[in-house]
Amino acid sequence: MDKNHQMWADLGMDLKTHDLLCEALPGAYGDVFLTQENRPECMDYFEMVAADIHGIRAAELVEAQKQGRKVIGTFCVFVPDEAVVAADAIVTGLCGGSQFWVPEGEKYLPANTCPLIKASMGARFGKTCPYFRIADMLVGETTCDGKIKAYEILSEDIDVHVMDLPHQKRPQDFIAWENEIKLFMEKMEDFTGNKITLEKLNESIKLINAKRRALARLYDCRKNKVVPISGTDTLLIMQIAFFDDPARLTAQVNRLCDELEKRIADGVSVAKEGAPRILITGTPLAVPNWKLHNIIESSGGIVVCEENCTGTRYFSHEVKEDNATMDEAVKALSDRYLGNINCACFTPNPGRIDDILRLAKEYDVDGIIDCNLKFCNLYATENYFVERAIKEAGIPILTLETDYTDSDAEQLRTRVGAFLEMLGN
Amino acid sequence: MDKNHQMWADLGMDLKTHDLLCEALPGAYGDVFLTQENRPECMDYFEMVAADIHGIRAAELVEAQKQGRKVIGTFCVFVPDEAVVAADAIVTGLCGGSQFWVPEGEKYLPANTCPLIKASMGARFGKTCPYFRIADMLVGETTCDGKIKAYEILSEDIDVHVMDLPHQKRPQDFIAWENEIKLFMEKMEDFTGNKITLEKLNESIKLINAKRRALARLYDCRKNKVVPISGTDTLLIMQIAFFDDPARLTAQVNRLCDELEKRIADGVSVAKEGAPRILITGTPLAVPNWKLHNIIESSGGIVVCEENCTGTRYFSHEVKEDNATMDEAVKALSDRYLGNINCACFTPNPGRIDDILRLAKEYDVDGIIDCNLKFCNLYATENYFVERAIKEAGIPILTLETDYTDSDAEQLRTRVGAFLEMLGN
């Protein structure tokens, strides 16, 4: 048995079923990524992580656990990584992005649930994802109906802490969210046995802000007329950012950005002349969900920005640093997380429309695709406002709904192709 | 033009389309209600209301508005009627229960939205429900994804106040809910121009408690071995309770209960000997959604209790009366509404399981049907716990999912028939 298989066996995984996933991924990965031309050399790091996606990082986490550190699994950009890091624990994102896990999830959840939630549940209960096995504790949030109920089922199997996210952004909601962050920090202290000091919290804010700055720098490179990196490669980096070590990820993204900025100076673009520049908005694209990016970019378009949770919502806006008191630091976290993430779970959510229109300008896009996971009622309903505002701004928009199956790939390809062709004229 | 049509025209309704609904309802009503044998005489009042469901009460509300009173439309049992009544305004429930309104609602909402929300939106935007035209203001709540986003769309058309319902029941959530009730009361004061005094609030608590007691008395009659009223008739009464004048409704329900208690003493049952006694649990059954009750009771069963929002969740538990201060009164409201209504929007929601098992015993049921509206992810997911707990208690359970169309009626009839037959053995 090789090292990975030994680790997976030790984690109590279903090796036989997991092998099927391991066998399918390289082909899928190759089709999407290795067919791209002229990729940045500094994708080498991300290539390596992706090639052994259930191995390298998982082994690091297992090793950290042996040294007494806790691993905390999260599902949402509202959960502040800073609180986990300040307790000397490690965050790992757990959202599932493959159809592989969906049937197992449907044993526990209604079929009419969004594929991300079904896949996440399936990955845990099917014992086919090492990160779900490694996580000592899960952190949920009350963002949507599907998740709040799924967490109840998960909590029968593993310790789950749920953060009660307000659904409005009034002054009292910010205070409520500060209190939720404090409760979460207490939970982290209890669970890890480590005290969260002001110094540690300020340090962790700086650590995560540095990661945010690196990702923002990466996105800034895409604003240029010369597009030095594909949307597909950027998406992979974002997906890895959710579970990689934050300091190393920051360094690697900055190393890549050095190359990308040189590419811009040298006029090296991955996009063909005149390729329509696309902004994607909507629901998150969890690893390994690369379907939409692949369709767009293999149909002649170039994705230059993602206004979603695996895009700008993840890194935009920094947390205020060097806070003088614990209360000030917690308020800084509340302000950044509640104040600046414009998820469709808010009522109303005009900030998202503002974000989309601003990003469309900043990234000089030719068209917008509002793409939402099937059965995500929040985003599907918010499309009513999103589509109208985009049309009013005179920007072409295509609305899509999809899941993790391949059954609609050809239909999506046809619709996206027609949209890109229209933009090309 | 008759009086009703004149009123509907004055309300800006779409008369032609509304006439189609008016033409269809009597037949549907007759098929469901008038085919029943041995109905209580005191159903006469509810018969009259139902026969002119868009006429009599609507005319009263229009008249009240002429005298300066405001009419407040609500969609959920969490919105405290007491706050509206104490401001001398009138509450009218607005949930739509007919497929007639669904296609219009789908112009605004994703098809994958629960039919109750689609019907409610369709009734408003299609101008085919007088109550939606009469309502001066709507009150929403953050209970589920579908509703919070639908309220945003409605709020472009009419003033909507949204109450932020917590999704847990911790001490801080009760305080948050008290604050929401206070905000709602302030909104009612501003909107009506009437001050909510402690005296008025205490009075309104008594008024609504009296209605709760009457409905509880009605339900108590169904606990008996002799079942003096059908579930179908009880459902109609509950549906009328959401929009009728509370004092009159209370009087009429009590008048009916006098008859029902005499029936019990006299051994007059509407159910055949040995008819399986059914508890329905799940999502609300808004007027005129009588499908499930009709199928059960025309297939030989008798519905003796509904653990849902148009059943026990609406009237169970009274609000503490004779409060000495405004804060005490608001706390009493928060305790009753947040503390005692066990909706699947809470995470976790063990109180509902307790309620179901307790009611099953109190109403001596033979079987339970967990029936949920399609695309209600909260209740569909909670079925995981509900079905398991009921099975563990040794009670037969049937889980159904349905919408407002008739397309599944035969399939439901077959499944319900098989379930009842199994219970009969």
CB contact under 8 A, B381 and A153: yes
CA distances to A276, B59, B129, B243, B287 from B66, in Å: 59, 11, 19, 18, 27
Strand partners, A140: A162
Q: B161 pLDDT exceeds 90? A: yes
CB contact under 8 A, B344 and A149: yes
Q: Which of A232, A235, A230, A226 is nearest to A262 (CA)?
A: A226
Task: Over range B180-196, report the average pLDDT.
Answer: 98
Residues of A in contact with B144 (CB under 8 A): 145
A5-16 confidence digits (pLDDT tens): 999 999 999 999
Q: B385 pLDDT exceeds 90? A: yes
Q: How far is A249 from chain B (nearest CA, A)?
A: 35
Q: Which of B178, B381, B390, B278 is nearest to A146 (CA)?
A: B381
Chain B touched by A425 (CB under 8 Å)? no
- Among candidates B149, B173, B378 on the partner chain, residue whose Cβ is nearest the Cβ of A149: B378
Strand partners, B74: B93, B139
Relative to beta strand A137-141, strand A71-74 is parallel
Q: B423 pLDDT exceeds 70? A: yes
Q: How far is B318 from chain A (nearest CA, A)?
A: 28
Q: B425 pLDDT exceeds 70? A: no
Residues of B in contact with A384 (CB under 8 A): 108-109, 153
Phi-psi region of B394 (alpha: psi -120 to 50; beta: other; left: phi over 0): left
- Among candidates A151, A168, A378 on the partner chain, residue whose Cβ is nearest the Cβ of B347: A151
Number of residue pairs across A and B with CB atoms under 8 Å? 113
Task: Over range B272-294, report the average pLDDT.
Answer: 97
Residues of A in contact with B148 (CB under 8 A): 167, 345, 347, 378
Query: Which of B138, B139, B143, B148 is the best mutation test for A, with the most CBs of A within 10 A?
Result: B148
Relative to beta strand A71-74, strand A367-373 is unpaired
Q: How far is B170 from chain A (nearest CA, A)?
A: 11
CB contact under 8 A, A149 and B347: yes
CB contact under 8 A, B347 and A142: yes
Task: Over range A75-87, report the average pLDDT.
Answer: 98
Chain B touched by A152 (CB under 8 Å)? yes
A105-123 confidence digits (pLDDT tens): 999 999 999 999 999 999 9
Would you say B389 and A152 are in contact if contact means Cβ atoms under 8 Å apart?
Answer: no
- Among candidates A146, A155, A378 on the partner chain, residue whose Cβ is nearest the Cβ of B149: A378
Query: Which of B152, B345, B377 is the best mutation test for A, with the most CBs of A within 10 A?
Result: B377
Chain A touched by B78 (CB under 8 Å)? no
CB contact under 8 A, A378 and B112: no
B326-345 confidence digits (pLDDT tens): 999 999 999 999 999 999 99
What pLDDT, on a 0 to 100 scale, did the predictor assign at position A239? 98
Residues of B in contact with A148 (CB under 8 A): 167, 345, 347, 378
What pLDDT, on a 0 to 100 scale, did the predictor assign at position A113? 98
Q: A190 pLDDT exceeds 90? A: yes
Largest CA distance in chain A: 62
Q: Residue A424 — very low, low, confident or very high, per pLDDT cuts 50/70/90?
A: confident
Q: For residue B372, what is the nearest residue in chain A, using CA coordinates?
A: A110
Q: For residue A378, what is the nearest residue in chain B, using CA coordinates?
A: B145
Q: At what angle do helices A44-51 and A246-266 cross, to 10 degrees?
A: 140
CB contact under 8 A, A108 and B142: no
Cβ partners under 8 Å of residue A19, min gap 6: none
CB contact under 8 A, B377 and A375: yes
Q: How far is A286 from chain B (nearest CA, A)?
A: 21
What pLDDT, on a 0 to 100 scale, did the predictor assign at position A1? 87
The DSSP annotation for B127-156 comes to T--HHHHH-SEEEEESS-HHHHHHHHHHTT
- pTM of the shown model: 0.96
CB contact under 8 A, B112 and A113: no
Residues of B in contact with A144 (CB under 8 A): 145
Retrieve residue A200's tokens. Answer: 């540690």
What pLDDT, on a 0 to 100 scale, did the predictor assign at position B424? 85
Retrieve residue B60's tokens. Answer: 């009263």
Burial class (CB in 10 A: 0-12, 13-18, 19+), A56: middle
What part of A 96-115 touches B (C-beta under 8 Å)? 108-110, 112-113
Would you say B333 and B185 are in contact if contact means Cβ atoms under 8 Å apart?
Answer: no
What part of A 256-315 touches B (C-beta under 8 Å)? none
Q: B250 pLDDT exceeds 80? A: yes
Q: A425 pLDDT exceeds 70? A: no
CA distance B87 to A304: 54
CB contact under 8 A, A149 and B113: no
Would you tell me how many other CB atoms lie within 10 Å of the CB of residue B195? 10
B325-362 burial: b if 16+ Cβ within 10 Å, else e: eeeebbbbbbbbbbeebbbbbbbbbeebbebbbebbeb
CA distance A424 to A277: 10
CB contact under 8 A, B381 and A113: yes
- Among candidates A173, A347, A380 on the partner chain, residue whose Cβ is nearest the Cβ of B112: A380
Would you say A157 and B389 are in contact if contact means Cβ atoms under 8 Å apart?
Answer: no
A312-351 confidence digits (pLDDT tens): 999 999 999 999 999 999 999 999 999 999 999 999 999 9
Chain B touched by A151 (CB under 8 Å)? yes
Q: Residue A418 — very low, low, confident or very high, per pLDDT cuts 50/70/90?
A: very high
Q: Residue A53 — very low, low, confident or very high, per pLDDT cuts 50/70/90?
A: very high
Q: pLDDT above 90 covers what percent of chain B?
A: 98
Cβ partners under 8 Å of residue A379, min gap 6: A282, A283, A344, A372, A373
CA A161 to chain centroid, in Å, comes to 20
Helix (H, G, I), strand (E, B) or coil at A118: helix
Chain B touched by A347 (CB under 8 Å)? yes
Q: At what angle do helices B15-29 and B44-51 cross, to 10 degrees?
A: 150
Chain B touched by A388 (CB under 8 Å)? no
- Among candidates A108, A112, A347 on the partner chain, residue whose Cβ is nearest the Cβ of B152: A347
CB contact under 8 A, B345 and A145: yes
Residues of B in contact with A167 (CB under 8 A): 142, 148, 164
Eight-state DSSP code of residue B364: T
Task: Over range B20-39, report the average pLDDT.
Answer: 93
CA distance A117 to A102: 9
CA distances to A197, B269, B276, B297, B367 from B361, in Å: 53, 20, 14, 21, 11
Q: Which of B317, B354, B323 is nearest to B336 (CA)?
A: B317
**DSSP strands (E only) in A39-120:** 71-74, 90-93
CB contact under 8 A, A146 and B377: yes
CA A288 to chain centroid, in Å, comes to 11
Retrieve residue A3's tokens. Answer: 């090292």
Query: Which of A148, A172, A175 is the best mutation test for B, with the most CBs of B within 10 A?
Result: A148
Q: A367 pLDDT exceeds 60? A: yes
Q: B245 pLDDT exceeds 90? A: yes
Task: Over range A59-67, report the average pLDDT.
Answer: 98
Q: What is the mean pLDDT of chain B?
A: 97
Would you say B114 and B373 are in contact if contact means Cβ atoms under 8 Å apart?
Answer: yes
Q: How far is A204 from chain B (nearest CA, A)?
A: 28
Residues of B in contact with A378 (CB under 8 A): 145, 148-149
Eight-state DSSP code of residue B71: E
CA distance B57 to B62: 9
Chain B touched by A189 (CB under 8 Å)? no
CA A114 to chain centroid, in Å, comes to 16
Q: pLDDT above 70 covers what percent of chain A?
A: 100
CA distance B145 to B273: 44
Relative to beta strand B277-282, strand B160-163 is unpaired
Would you say B239 and B300 are in contact if contact means Cβ atoms under 8 Å apart?
Answer: no
- Among candidates B113, B142, B168 on the partner chain, residue whose Cβ is nearest the Cβ of A347: B142
What pLDDT, on a 0 to 100 scale, did the predictor assign at position A359? 98
Residues of A in contact with B112 (CB under 8 A): 112, 374-375, 377, 380
Q: Which of A240, A295, A282 is nearest to A406 (CA)?
A: A295
Q: Residue B216 — very low, low, confident or very high, per pLDDT cuts 50/70/90?
A: very high
CA A184 to chain centroid, in Å, comes to 21
Residue entry with tokens 């990965």: A29
